[in-house]
Amino acid sequence: MRLYTINAQGRSLGRVASEAARVLRGKDTPLYRRDRIPEVMVRIENAGKLRIDPRKLRGKTYSRYSGYPGGLRFETLESLQSRRGAPEVLRRAVFGMLPKNNSRAKLMKQLTITL
C-alpha cells in the first residue's frame, strides 16, 4: 500500500480535489487500468487552510432531496463549511470527481482528510 500526501495549505479547493481524485484512480502510475482499484492511500493535510473564493462560498450550493413533496433542500458552501467543517467540503469535492459506479465507495475509503 502506497501513501500519497497532499498539503492543501493555500491551494484552491478544486485543484486539491482533482489531484486527490487522480491519485485515487491510479492515473499517476504506469500500471493504470480503469477496472482496477489501486492500492494507494491519499492523505490530505491542512484542509482548514484551503483557499476558497468568497464568491464561491456564497454561490456554490449543495442540494439534497428527502423523497417527499417539498423535500428539496439547498445549502451553500459557506453554511456547509461552518456546520460540518472544511474536511466535509473537500470530501464532497473529491466524491464528485470520482466515477459514478460501485468503485466510488471503495475509493473514498482510501481517502483521509485532516485539519
Domain contains 58: no
Domain contains 20: yes
Percent of the chain with pLDDT over 70: 100
Domain contains 67: no
Domain contains 46: yes
Cα separation, 110 vs 3, whole angstroms: 10
In which domain, by residue range, is 18 found? 2-53+85-113
CATH number (domain holding residue 43): 3.90.1180.10
pLDDT (mean) for 5-12: 98
Domain contains 34: yes
Encode 13-39: b = buried (16+ Cβ within 10 Å), e = exposed.
Answer: beebbebbbebbbbeeeeeeeeeeebe
Domain count of the fold of the chain: 1
| C-alpha cell at position 59 | 454561490
Q: Is the pTM of this model over 0.95?
A: no
pLDDT (mean) for 76-90: 97
Domain contains 14: yes
